Amino acid sequence: MVNPRLPILTACLLTLASALHGCGLAGSEDMAGSLEPRSLCGQPWLLKSLKVDGREHRTGLLWRKLMRERPYFTCDALGYVRGNSGSNPYTGRLSRSGDQLSWPKAPAVAPMIDLRDSSELEQDFLLALPQTEQLSFDGELLILEGAAGATRLEFQPAETPPP
C-alpha cells in the first residue's frame, strides 16, 4: 500500500529544491575559479540531443509540440538533480569538481502513485545521465559527455522548467 502522503512530501521536497535553486553549484565561477558563460545550476536545461550506446535522439517537431514530454535537467546547491525524463519526474545527485562530474546517486524515476509507461527516450535519458563525466559549454549549450564521447547530451537553456 502506498502512503497517501507521498505525493505531498514529494511536492514539498521539489519546492525546497526550487528554493535552493541557483546556489552553490550555480555560481558564475566554477570551483577552479574560471568564468563560465552559463552556470550549471542557475536555470533549467532542456534536452536538445542525446547519444547513448549508438542511439541518437534530436529535437524535432514532436518535442516542440509536446513541451511537457521533453526531458529537462536542473540541480541545486547540494548537487541534487531533478527534472522530467520525458514521461516521469526523476531525481538523482551529482558531484562536480571543475568540469568533471560524478554521480553518487544515479538519476531514477521519482516514486509516485501515477507513473506513466517509460518511453525509449526516457530510458535512454536516464541511462545516459550517470554515464557522463565531463561538462562543458558551447555558447548557450550545456554539453555533458561520457568517456571517449560514447555518451553525449546537449541541453539548451530554458527560462522556466517545462510544465
Averaged over 94-111, what is the pLDDT?
Answer: 91
DSSP code for 21: B
Report whether pLDDT(7) > 70: no
pLDDT digits (tens, 9 = 90+) for 60-101: 545 545 555 678 889 998 999 998 887 788 999 999 999 999
pTM score of the predicted model = 0.70
pLDDT digits (tens, 9 = 90+) for 37-50: 457 887 899 998 99
- Do residues 131 and 151 lie in contact, with contact meaning Cβ atoms separated by under 8 Å? yes
> Residue 103 has what pLDDT?
96
> Residue 80 has what pLDDT?
94
Residue 72, C-alpha cell as written in the block: 529537462
- Determine the Cα–Cα distance for residues 66 and 2; give it in Å rounded to an integer: 30
